[in-house]
A and B are shown apart, each in its own frame.
Chain A
Amino acid sequence: ELKVEQNPLFLSMQEGKNYTIYCNYSTTSDRLYWYRQDPGKSLESLFVLLSNGAVKQEGRLMASLDTKARLSTLHITAAVHDLSATYFCAIFMNRDDKIIFGKGTRLHILP
């Protein structure tokens, strides 16, 4: 069964701390997405990772992809309250042309 698993599902952390969200998936994929969703809002695209070893950074967020381990990470550096949101990873299914999402990680950063 195809699975996209994120952990943790809930994370409460202090401002200024570093943390990593993990995304494991159970089938081969050549495309992995990270999205952010604020309460009541739509999904905002953060990163698209297309190849093994890909690393992308935007501000305090950095995403990486290891296709051999079927693992992507989203690293948060020196968290600030504005980063509080739910973060989703998703993989692209080559054979089906569809996207499968993880359940999301709800991140709450305490001021």
Chain B
Amino acid sequence: KAGVTQTPRYLIKTRGQQVTLSCSPISGHRSVSWYQQTPGQGLQFLFEYFSETQRNKGNFPGRFSGRQFSNSRSEMNVSTLELGDSALYLCASSLPALPIHFGSGTRLTVV
């Protein structure tokens, strides 16, 4: 069974640009969540989608957005990038009450 797939693995963007990250969950998983990991703030919850609906959102500005498609694939978008957005972005998929499986992440560097 294929795991959670995130693309791209690495990205370098300049301040002010926007970026879109993609996540394909494990087949059959309808819940997809996104996390930001930085050395200073650790792992922080961004948002969670289930059946194309955002069920919950973390404490991030409106520049961070996401969506989920009918095939459960998800994208997150960050607009007007800031240096502080440099981080490892992790996507995870799950079934209820079972381990949450994480993708390999997208490492975003904003210069």
Contact = CB atoms under 8 A, between A and B. Distances in A.
12 contacts: A42-B90, A42-B104, A42-B105, A48-B98, A88-B43, A96-B56, A98-B48, A98-B56, A99-B33, A101-B42, A102-B42, A103-B42
B10 to A, nearest CB: 11
Nearest to A31: B97
Interface in B54-111: 55-56, 58, 90, 92, 97-105
Main secondary structure of the interface of A (DSSP, over half): strand
Range for the number of chain B residues in contact with chain A:
20 to 34
A97 B56 contact: yes
B52 to A, nearest CB: 15
A98 B104 contact: no
A45 B42 contact: no
